[in-house]
Amino acid sequence: MDPLKTTLKVRQKALELGFDRCGFARAERLDLEAQRLEEWLQQDRHGTMGWMENNFEKRVDPTKLVPGSKSVVSLLMGYRFPENETYDQQYDVPKIAKYARGRDYHKVFKNRLKKLFRFTQELVGDINGRIFVDSAPVLDKVWAQRAGLGWIGKNSNLLNKTHGSWFLIGEMILDVPFVYDAPETEHCGTCTRCIDACPTDAIYEPFRVDGSRCISYLTIELKDAIPDEFKKDMGEWMFGCDICQDVCPWNRKSAYGHYEDLKPREHVLYPAERKWSEISEEEFDDIFEGSPVRRATHKWFTRNAVIAEGNLRSET
């Protein structure tokens, strides 16, 4: 099939499946990003995330990850909901990052990606490819930017004019040619609100983030005691952090999401009268069944909750 027709049909199907945006980029080695990633790793900006050193060439070259691949198809799925904004107006409760207040996005996203992959297979014929949702060494933000779906902001998140940064990213890497989109240009201008707002100074310069200082890293990835120097700066956050996104001007009028499964769960926003730090392992498993929060495990989640609750007490 003609690449233009294939592109139009796959994009149309992606929107029918409920994805908010779909873009196409040529699969090739990311030379500049490879250099930047190597420098970042050498500076130990990844903390204890040793897995980021693994599969370096696959991370920067999709043709090594999927042999024979020609294209990276990037998809976005929004998760901004009014319920989150109402909840966030409470300043006396520990917080979970917005993306993790509903069902595990990996499952929601992947189910629809599988349908899009099958559609592409039926459309083109025998194809070789894989789908990814934060599940392999793929620089998803870079590929989405190359596919015209946004630009990399100063907080290292992908941004676009319609959805701000309140969206999730997934991709198909395929041996199918498409008509490729032009990369989006950067629209942060002179704004430094994300840099100024970060309490741990994780954004050490525009477009550069020290992962080992990020609150999301401290509350999710770090499987050890949290260093004393960061405890107060964690504020009310006990899983993830939205500070640099909350202050971003592009997020003020971004479009709302429409996937019911990604909406925040009522029992997560408004739990029964209990301290999060005191929930049992059984309660943790029950409350966060099918949730990204399970990644933290009960042990580390309650560690975070103790700190968040202590910070809130000290503010009153």
The long-range contacts involving 207-215, CB below 8 angstroms and separated by at least 24 positions, are: 207/152, 207/153, 207/154, 207/156, 208/40, 208/156, 209/45, 209/155, 209/156, 210/45, 211/45, 211/46, 211/47, 211/49, 212/44, 212/45, 212/46, 212/47, 212/48, 214/241, 215/240, 215/241, 215/243
Kindly give, in sequence order, each residue whose CB lies less than 8 Å from that of residue 280, ignoring residues fewer than 6 positions away.
298
> Token pair of 223, please?
């499987």
Give catalytic status of residue 134 as yes or no. Answer: yes
- What does each C-alpha distance from 176 to 74, 126, 200 come to in angstroms? 14, 10, 43
Active-site position among 134, 175, 233, 285: 134
Residues tagged active-site: 134
